[in-house]
Structure 1
Amino acid sequence: GVGFRYFTRHRAAEYGLTGWCRNTPNDKVEGEIQGRAEIITEFFKDINSGPRGARVVKLETEEREIIQDEKHFEIRR
C-alpha cells in the first residue's frame, strides 16, 4: 500500500530511474520503470524484498515501450 509506494519512489530516485507506481482496486501495487537494465535489476531486488513490514507476494515484470522525455518517478492515484 502506501508505505510500499513511497519505498518504491525512494528507491527509484536513489537509482536515478523514472516511471510511476499506484495502488490498484485489488490491493496490489503496479507501475512502470525506466532506466539501464542492470540498474533496473538491482531495483527489482530491492522491491522484491519490500520495506520493513511489507509482504511482497509476487513480483511480475514485462517489457514495455519507452516513454520519451520522462524525467522523474511519481506516485499516481
Structure 2
Amino acid sequence: MSGNTDATVRLIAWVQGDVQGVGFRWWTRSRALELGLVGQARNLSDGRVAVTAEGDRETCERLLEQLRGGRTPGRVTSVSEQWTAPSGAFSGFVEA
C-alpha cells in the first residue's frame, strides 16, 4: 500500500465555462454518487460551479478527471483545484 493514497481527503474544484443552467450540478452529483463520494456542487455568483468532494484521494482524482474530461454538460473552459483535510460534514452529495 502506498503512502496516503487511501487517506480521506477533500477536493474543492472550481469549474469555469458555460456550466450554469445546463444540468452540470446534477451531472456532477450523479458522477460523485457513482464513485461513492460525499459533498456538494453549487453555483457561484461569478458563473463558476464549486464542487466539493470528500473520499479517498484516488476516487476524488477520478471525479476531477471527469470534470475535465470534455463529456460534461455545457462547456468547461478550466478547472482549478485545492486539496485539504476532510471536514466530515457531508453525508451524501447534493446540489446546493
> Following TM superposition, where does structure 1 have runs of at least 4 consecutive aligned residues deviating by more than 4 angstroms?
none
- What is the RMSD of the two structures over their aligned residues, measured on CA atoms? 1.5
2:31 aligned residue: 11
1:46 aligns with 2:45: no
Mapped partners of 1:30, 1:48: distance in 2: 14
Mapped partners of 2:88, 2:42: distance in 1: 20
Aligned-residue sequence identity (percent) comes to: 25
TM-score, with length taken from structure 1 = 0.85
- The higher radius of gyration belongs to 2
Mapped partners of 2:37, 2:90: distance in 1: 10
SS of match in other structure, 1:14: helix
Greater fraction of residues in helix: 1
TM-score, with length taken from structure 2 = 0.70
1:37 aligned residue: 57
Unmatched segments (≥5 aa) in structure 1: none
Q: Deviations over 1:21-41 (max 9, x none)?
A: 111111110121101111111
SS of match in other structure, 1:35: strand
Unmatched segments (≥5 aa) in structure 2: 1-19
